[in-house]
Amino acid sequence: MSEKFKNLINGEWKDSKSGNTFENRNPAQWNEDLIGIFPSSDKEDINEAVAAAKAAFEKWRLIPAPRRGDILKVVGDKMLERKDEIAYERTREMGKVFAETKGDVQEGIDTAYYAGSEGRRLFGLNAPSELPNKMNLSFRVPIGVGGFITPWNFPMAIPTWKIFPALVCGNTCVFKPAELTPKTATTLVEIIDTAMREVLGRDYIPGVINIVHGKGRIVGEAMIAHPDIDLISFTGSTPVGKRINEVAGASLKRVSLELGGKNAQIVMNDADQELALEAVLWGAFGTTGQRCTATSRLILHKDIYDEFIGKLVKKVKKLKLGYGNDKGIDVGPCVSEAQRETVNSYVKIGKEEDKAKLVAGGDYAKDDALSKGWFYEPTIFVDVKPGMRIEQEEIFGPVLSVIKCNDLTDAINILNDTPYGLSSSIFTKNVNDAFVAIRDIKAGITYVNGATIGAEAHMPFGGVKQTGNGHREGGWTVYDFYTEWKAVYIDYSGKLQRAQIDNY
Ligand code: NAD
C-alpha cells in the first residue's frame, strides 16, 4: 500500500471532496517507485480553504509580528533537524542530486530565520508634518488572503520565499504546489502547522496555512478567480504567468510573477578558463538544466572559442547520470516524461530547423539503469546564431547553446537580445569590462566570475522583461509585496488645520 496524503484545510488534514486522487512517482525509477497518492482537488476544496483563510485572517493579523516571527524560527529549527530526510525525499520526488536538494532545503531554512527576525523589524517610516502640532506616521499592514502557486523545480525554496514573508506580515495562505512535487510541499505545510500549534498553544488559529493539491487548470484557476483571495504570488512559466495576470488582474488582485529565463554566461578572452568551465557545467547541467536561472547560452569570445569548446565537450562527456540519491551522480533525470519530450523536441529544432551543430548528447540516455527514468544526455549545440529558436526560447533541460562573439559590446548585445531577463554572468579579469557588463546587462541578476545560478536568500531575486512583473522575492524587498502602507496623521493642535491651505 502506498502512502496516502491529504489537503490541510482549516487545521484538518482531509481528502478532496470528490475523493479523486493522483499519483506521484520517482522520475529516476518511474515504474518501481510510487511515492504517494495525493488528493486531486476541485473548486469546492478551494472555496473551503479560502473561507478558512479569510476567517483566520481576522485573528492572525492581531497576533504581534514578533510572535509570528517566533513561529518561523521554530519552522527553521524543524527544517534543520529534518534537512537530510527532506532532501532525500526531494531527490526521490523531483530527481535533482542530493547535494542540490540539500541546498534547496537550506535556502528554506535561511528564509525561515530571515523572515522570523523580520517580525521584529517590518519597519515603518515617519516624516515631519507641514503643520504645527501634528505627527505623521506610516506603517505596514497585512493584505489578507494570499494564493500561492509554485513550480516543481525548487519545491522547498520557492514556497518558503513566498509563504514565510506573507505569514510574518500577517497574511493567511492558500497554497497550491506543483503536481509533480506534492510531497515536499506537504512536508513544508506540516512543519508550519506543527510549529504554529507548538508556539501558539491554546491560541492556535486553524486556517492560517492551507494546502490544496491538484491541477493548475482546475485548482489554480479557481484560486486566481476567487473574489476572496487578495493577492497571488506565482512562480512558473511565462505563458501561465500571463494568464494569471489577466484573470487575477481583472479583480485588481496584487500579483507577483516570477517566470521563465534564457540566461547566458559570457566568457571573455582574458577569463580564467578553468573557472569559467566549472561554472558553465554547474550552471547548464546542475538540476538537469531545470532551473529558471540555468545557463542555457554560453557566449564565447572568438579568440578562445574553439579551445574552450574542446575542453567543455570533454568534461560534459564525463558527467555521470543517475538517481540523485546514489553517490557520485552529477546529473539526475528530467522531472517527467513530458518535460523530457519538450527537451527532445527542442533538440530536433536545433538540428533540423536552426541547423546548429550538435557536439555532445542530443538523445535519451540509453544505458540500462537509466532507461528506468526520464534521463536525457547533457547536450551542447555550437555555432548557434543569435535569433535561432534554441537561442531564444526556454528549453528547461540539459541543453546548452554556444554562440561566438567578437567583443564585449557584441557579447552584451547577444545576451540582452531575448524576451527574458533573469540571471546573467560574465567571466573576465578586466575590471572595466566587468563594470560595463554590470551596467548594461538587462537582467535582474548579474554574476561576475560566477555561474548564473546560486541566489542567496537575503538578496532580491527576480527578473526583467518577460521574466516577471517587477516584484522581487527574497531579502528585504519582498516585504513590500506582502504589506500595504497605511499613512496616519495625528493632530494635537486642538483646531482644524488644513494642509496646503492654512500654511501657504
Ligand atoms: P508551470 O507554469 O507549468 O506551472 C507552475 C504552477 O502553475 C504549477 O503549480 C501549475 O499547476 C500551475 N498552473 C498551471 N496552469 C495554471 C493555470 N491556468 N492557472 C493557475 N495555475 C496554473 O511551470 P512549471 O513547469 O511548474 O515550472 C517551470 C517554469 O517555471 C519555467 O518556465 C521556469 O523558468 C519557471 N521558474 C521561474 C522561476 C523564477 O523565479 N523566475 C523559478 C523557478 C521556475
pLDDT in tens, the chain (504 residues): 579 999 999 999 999 999 999 999 999 999 999 999 999 999 999 999 999 999 999 999 999 999 999 999 999 999 999 999 999 999 999 999 999 999 999 999 999 999 999 999 999 999 999 999 999 999 999 999 999 999 999 999 999 999 999 999 999 999 999 999 999 999 999 999 999 999 999 999 999 999 999 999 999 999 999 999 999 999 999 999 999 999 999 999 999 999 999 999 999 999 999 999 999 999 999 999 999 999 999 999 999 999 999 999 999 999 999 999 999 999 999 999 999 999 999 999 999 999 999 999 999 998 888 999 999 999 999 999 999 999 999 999 999 999 999 999 999 999 999 999 999 999 999 999 999 999 999 999 999 999 999 899 999 999 999 999 999 999 999 999 999 999 999 999 999 999 999 999
The residues, any chain, with a CB within 8 Å of residue 104's CB and separated by 6 or more, are 87, 90, 96, 154, 155, 156, 157
Asked if 454 contacts 462 with a C-beta cutoff of 8 angstroms, the reply is no
Nearest to 161 by CA among 453, 484, 457: 457
* Closest protein CA for atom 16 of ligand 1: 216
258 is catalytic: yes
**Distance (Å, whole) CA 251 – CA 214:** 23
**Distance (Å, whole) CA 18 – CA 16:** 5
Asked if 452 contacts 283 with a C-beta cutoff of 8 angstroms, the reply is yes
107 touches ligand 1 (CB under 6 Å): no
152 touches ligand 1 (CB under 6 Å): yes
323 touches ligand 1 (CB under 6 Å): no
**Distance (Å, whole) CA 338 – CA 172:** 34
- Out of 40, 179, 237, 296, mutate this one to test ligand 1's pocket (max ligand atoms within 8 Å of CB): namely 237
What is the position in ligand 1's atom list of the atom closest to the CA of 243?
Answer: 18
Nearest to 435 by CA among 443, 444, 445, 446: 446
Cell 552529477 locates to 330
Nearest to 336 by CA among 38, 36, 27, 28: 27
**Distance (Å, whole) CA 282 – CA 261:** 16
Task: Write down the pLDDT at residue 368.
Answer: 86
* Closest protein CA for atom 8 of ligand 1: 178
List 399's β-bridge partners, or say none: 379
Nearest to 171 by CA among 481, 496, 502: 481
Asked if 95 contacts 376 with a C-beta cutoff of 8 angstroms, the reply is no
DSSP symbol at 473: B
**Distance (Å, whole) CA 295 – CA 451:** 8
Dist. CA 237 → ligand 1 center (Å): 4
Cell 486522487 locates to 21
46 touches ligand 1 (CB under 6 Å): no
Q: Please report, in angstroms and rounded to a whole number, the separation of the first and last CA atoms in the chain.
A: 79
How do residues 12-49 score in pLDDT, each as one tens digit? Answer: 999 999 999 999 999 999 999 999 999 999 999 999 99
Of 48, 258, 377, 394, the catalytic one is: 258
